[in-house]
Amino acid sequence: MLTQIRGLHHVTSMASGARANNAFFTRTLGLRRVKKTVNFDAPDVYHLYYADEIGTPGTVMTYFPFPDAARGRRGAGEVAVTAMAIPQGAATAWEDRLRDAGARNIARDTAFGATRLLFDGPDGERLALVETAQDDRAPWTGGGVEAEIAIRGFHSVEMLLRDAGPTVELLEFMGYRETAREGAVTRYEIEGGNPARAIDIRTDPAAPRAQQGAGSVHHIAFSVESRAVQAEAAEKLAQAGWPTTPQIDRDYFHAIYFRSPGGVLFEVATDEPGFDRDEERAHLGEALKLPRQHEHLRAELERSLEPLEG
């Protein structure tokens, strides 16, 4: 069993437009854009990171906004809901804020004893705000959302699978344990680590297969402390039958990837070096930062990439 995983590091999704995506996450949700860079494999596409003040692991929502991308189809084999933590009693204020912003498909319910507010993002991605007690993470308030209700970081993700068994086996190997069941959803949590420690699995054998596109989660990343610890985890995963990619330098963290049995792409990402490695903390996310191999494209990219406000 792995002992290195500390909870979620980040969640990466796809979008159809950079400006609308940036406006929603920075203005409506009040997160900080901590990095404006490009997709390593498609440098003509942004990679935008939204988080707390410094991009603490467990708070980072990232997007690949492919211009005019077709919308994905919801279904099995994907992350169906990405949930973020808010203080207890904050759901009503958020419901009003989201309605004023024109968010669609807003619904309130209770999940595992906590009040939850569900809504769609700009590309139909299903998001949730979960009232959470004893979450002492400091929120970013520079986006116009007061500290009393501001988002603290991730709460959990919910995967929709036809057959949960093999994925549960993997999560248990990664250090997760079942902590609760509610209808077709089972919650798995990792002891210790960061506050973004819950993974929910909804099982539906009849669910249609998901098709990725705008609004789909591309992958979820789990947090480990360092490259050395990441290498230990990769070796143990390979020995257990889940081989990973080599360690890949993503500038702000190192990453390894592997496909989970249910179809969701998993990443294990390091907490180091962080998003302030090439920008002062006071100016995170302001300048276009390019991977070294794409720096020669700067002039072309600055002309072609969709301008962002803020």
- DSSP string computed for 150-166: ---EEEEEEEEES--HH
Per-residue tokens: 47: 């990679």
pLDDT above 80: residue 177: yes
pLDDT (0 to 100) of residue 74: 97
Residue 288 has pLDDT above 80, yes or no: yes
- State both tokens at 309: 């406000």
Q: What is the mean pLDDT of the chain?
A: 97
Burial class from Cβ neighbours inside 10 Å (0-12, 13-18, 19+) for residue 294 reads middle
Q: Is the pLDDT of residue 97 over 90?
A: yes
- Residue at token pair 């610890």: 229
Q: Give 259's pLDDT tier (boundaries 50, 70, 90).
A: very high
Structure tokens at 109: 């319910």
Q: Is the pLDDT of residue 310 over 80?
A: no
CB of 267 closer than 8 Å to CB of 220: yes
As given in the structure block, the two tokens for residue 174 are 């990664």
The model's confidence at residue 281, banded by pLDDT at 50, 70 and 90, is: very high
pLDDT band at residue 309 under the 50/70/90 scheme: confident
Whether omega for the bond prior to residue 273 falls within 30 degrees of 0, making it cis, is yes
pLDDT at 238 (0 to 100): 98
Please state the rounded mean pLDDT for residues 162-177.
Answer: 98
pLDDT cut 90: percent of the chain above it: 98
Burial of residue 150 (CB within 10 Å: 0-12, 13-18, 19+) is buried
Question: With bands split at pLDDT 50, 70 and 90, how would you rate the model's confidence at 29?
Answer: very high
In this predicted structure, what is the pLDDT of residue 193? Answer: 87
Instruction: Give the pLDDT confidence score for residue 253 in this predicted structure.
Output: 98
CB 180 within 8 A of CB 106: no
Mean pLDDT of the region 172-179: 98
Average pLDDT of the residues in 121-138: 97
Asked if 250 and 275 touch (Cβ cutoff 8 Å), the reply is no
Per-residue pLDDT, averaged over 35-52, amounts to 98
Sequence-distant (6+) residues with CB within 8 A of 151 are: 29, 30, 31, 84, 85, 86, 129, 139, 140, 145
In degrees and rounded to multiples of 5, residue 299 shows phi and psi of: -60, -45
d(CA 153, CA 52): 7
Identify whether the C-beta of residue 52 lies closer than 8 Å to the C-beta of residue 194.
no
- Which pLDDT score, from 0 to 100, does residue 186 have? 98
Over 80: is that where the pLDDT of 27 sits? Answer: yes
SS3 72: coil
- Mean of pLDDT values over 275-298: 98
- Where do the DSSP E strands lie in 88-152? 104-111, 114-120, 126-132
Stretch 177-184: mean pLDDT, rounded? 98
Enter the pTM of the model.
Answer: 0.98
Region for residue 238 given its phi and psi (left: phi exceeds 0; alpha: psi -120 to 50; beta: otherwise): alpha
Q: Which two tokens stand for residue 32?
A: 């900080």
Q: What does the pLDDT read at residue 254?
A: 98
Percent of the chain as helix, strand, coil, to the nearest 5: 20, 40, 40
Both tokens of 16, joined, read: 């159809």
